[in-house]
Amino acid sequence: MAAAYKERINRARKLARDEGFEALWVNDAPNVRYLSGFTGSSGYILLGPGKGYFITDSRYELQAAQEVRDLEIAILRGRLPALLKQLLSGMNVSRLAFSGALLSFDEVQSIRRALRGTAAFQPLQGSLSGLRAVKDAEEVTALRRAVSNAERAMRAVAGLVRPGVTEMRVAEALACELIRGACDDAAFNIIVACGPRSALPHATPSGRRLGRRDLMLLDWGARCGGYHSDMTRVFFEGEPAAELRKIHGVVLEAREAALQAIRPGAAAADVDAAARRVIEDAGYGEHFGHALGHGVGLEVHEAPVLGGASRDILKPGMVFTVEPGIYLPGKGGVRIEDVIHLEGDGPRVLGRLPRSGVLPSGAGRGSEVMVE
């Protein structure tokens, strides 16, 4: 894995160099982890010409020594801007790039004051996160594990999905099962929504109970080794209303159209359009308001973006979701979401959980996970 970090660092340096910067400052946790392997909560990277530093405080001195390779470790014992100036003083640097996503205006100004006369501190135009869009073999393995654990957790709590169960109870059980398994945690706040509330794409679990002929929408994922999965299924209790069954079929058709359009070199916007066309032709275009999908990795949402305004081109090694949906106010909504790995010969769906809408195996027979 050490070789992988060295190669990532070289690509980050090139991104900055291509914009005329001699050095690069990285301060957001996903990119810090991607470039160094550091898993703590406080770390920064300074990449200069031929030399790089990993900066952390005394809490993480031992951890950094164990996890970080190819970067010299500098321990922060005072103010960060002063340490930056000190480290840069030994380099021939006139322009230092930063990615401004997680830097406040005050932070930028503080660093600029400290570096006055040493180096200009300016935003990087290119995206560091874009470097992570194509996954290597170890990353794909971690993502497969995250999908597998998410599916295992769902099967473990399947018995709770029955009439009378509350959204909150299912969400709590899923969260407990994800932690109980070989995962770091849930990937994000789990979404569980019954009946008409399933028309809320990002519903917060409530005390509403699953009723007869209701559907339950679940959107959940696992974080394993820092990598995330993101999946959505709907489960029907009994025979649902005809229109809900109909839109379930339309969403499945849209998913299939997207998979047919996914290939190396395809425009992400065209894949979105292929799925959206199916939904529009069925008369539900106005009820599909979000993008078709997004990359997953060290963040739940990252490059590429599968949406109408996206300029991303799909490449082998990319891992992203496909999640068409239809949401009918006052009636209910259906979204089906899978994680896709684009290989050289086409897309491969990671995971095996059924998409039929039938209650998952074991439903109605109780569960080992009981959260009151």
Under 8 Å between Cβ of 300 and 221? yes
Alpha-carbon distance values, 260 to 112, 229, 263, 284 (Å): 50, 22, 8, 21
Question: ω before 49 within 30° of 0 (cis)?
Answer: no
Residue 145 and residue 26 share a domain:
no
Nearest-Å Rg of the Cα atoms of the chain is 23
Give a yes or no: residue 337 inside a domain: yes
Residue 301 and residue 178 share a domain:
yes
Question: What domain count does the chain have?
Answer: 2
Q: What is the pLDDT of residue 11?
A: 94
Residue 180 and residue 159 share a domain:
yes
Domain that holds residue 120: 2-132
Dist. CA 323–CA 254, nearest whole Å: 9
Under 8 Å between Cβ of 337 and 322? yes
Residue 246 and residue 301 share a domain:
yes
Give a yes or no: residue 372 inside a domain: no
Domain boundary among 76, 111, 132: 132
Dist. CA 251–CA 257, nearest whole Å: 10
Domain boundary among 132, 160, 178: 132
Q: What is the pLDDT of residue 372?
A: 25
Residue 251 and residue 342 share a domain:
yes
DSSP state of 81: H
Dist. CA 33–CA 71, nearest whole Å: 13
- Kindly report the CATH number assigned to the domain that includes residue 336: 3.90.230.10
Residue 334 and residue 317 share a domain:
yes
Domain boundary among 132, 160, 188: 132
Dist. CA 326–CA 281, nearest whole Å: 13
Give a yes or no: residue 120 inside a domain: yes
Give a yes or no: residue 103 inside a domain: yes
Give a yes or no: residue 258 inside a domain: yes
Give a yes or no: residue 371 inside a domain: no
User: Buried (b) or exposed (e) across 349-366, using 16+ Cβ within 10 A?
Assistant: ebbebebebebbebbeee
Give a yes or no: residue 363 inside a domain: no
Residue 309 and residue 189 share a domain:
yes
DSSP 218-238: EEE-EEETTEE--EEEEEESS
How many residues are recorded in the chain? Answer: 372
Residue 57 and residue 17 share a domain:
yes
Look-up of token digits 């002929």: 213
Give a yes or no: residue 366 inside a domain: no
User: Buried (b) or exposed (e) across 171-204, using 16+ Cβ within 10 A?
Assistant: bbbbbbbbeeeebbebbeebbbbbbbbbbebebe
Residue 144 and residue 88 share a domain:
no
Residue 188 and residue 117 share a domain:
no
Dist. CA 3–CA 147, nearest whole Å: 26
Residue 82 and residue 187 share a domain:
no
Dist. CA 71–CA 47, nearest whole Å: 9
DSSP state of 124: -
Residue 317 and residue 185 share a domain:
yes
Residues 6+ apart with CB under 8 A from 90: 51
Q: What is the pLDDT of residue 99?
A: 83
Q: What is the pLDDT of residue 300?
A: 97
Dist. CA 302–CA 294, nearest whole Å: 6
- Kindly report the CATH number assigned to the domain that includes residue 58: 3.40.350.10
Helices (H) and strands (E) in the chain, counts: 9, 19
Under 8 Å between Cβ of 27 and 100? no
Q: What is the pLDDT along the chain (372 residues), one digit of tens a residue?
A: 678 899 999 999 999 999 999 999 999 999 999 999 999 999 999 999 989 999 999 999 999 999 998 899 999 999 999 999 999 988 889 999 998 677 888 999 999 999 998 999 999 998 888 999 999 999 999 999 999 999 999 999 988 988 999 999 999 999 999 988 767 889 999 999 999 999 999 999 999 999 988 999 999 999 999 999 999 999 988 888 899 999 999 999 999 999 999 999 999 999 999 999 999 999 999 999 999 999 999 999 999 999 999 999 999 999 999 999 999 999 999 999 999 999 999 999 999 999 987 755 544 333 333 222
